[in-house]
Amino acid sequence: MALTRSIVDVIRDQAGAQGFTAVRAVRLEIGALSHVEPAAILFCFDAISRGTIAEGARLEVERPPGRAFCMPCGAPVPLAQRYDPCPLCGGHQMVLVGGEELRVMELEVE
DSSP summary character for residue 99? S
The single-letter DSSP state of residue 31 is: -
Cβ pair 53, 19 in contact under 8 A: no
Band (104; pLDDT cuts 50, 70, 90): very high
Domain boundary assignment for the chain: 2-109
Tens of pLDDT, residue by residue over 17-55, are 999 999 999 999 999 999 999 999 999 999 999 999 999
The pLDDT of residue 87 is 94
CATH node for 2-109? 3.30.2320.80
Record the pTM: 0.85
Instruction: For residue 70, name the pLDDT band (cuts at 50, 70, 90).
Output: very high
Q: What is the pLDDT of residue 5?
A: 96
Give the integer Cα–Cα distance in Å for 4 and 13.
Answer: 14
Residue type, 56: G
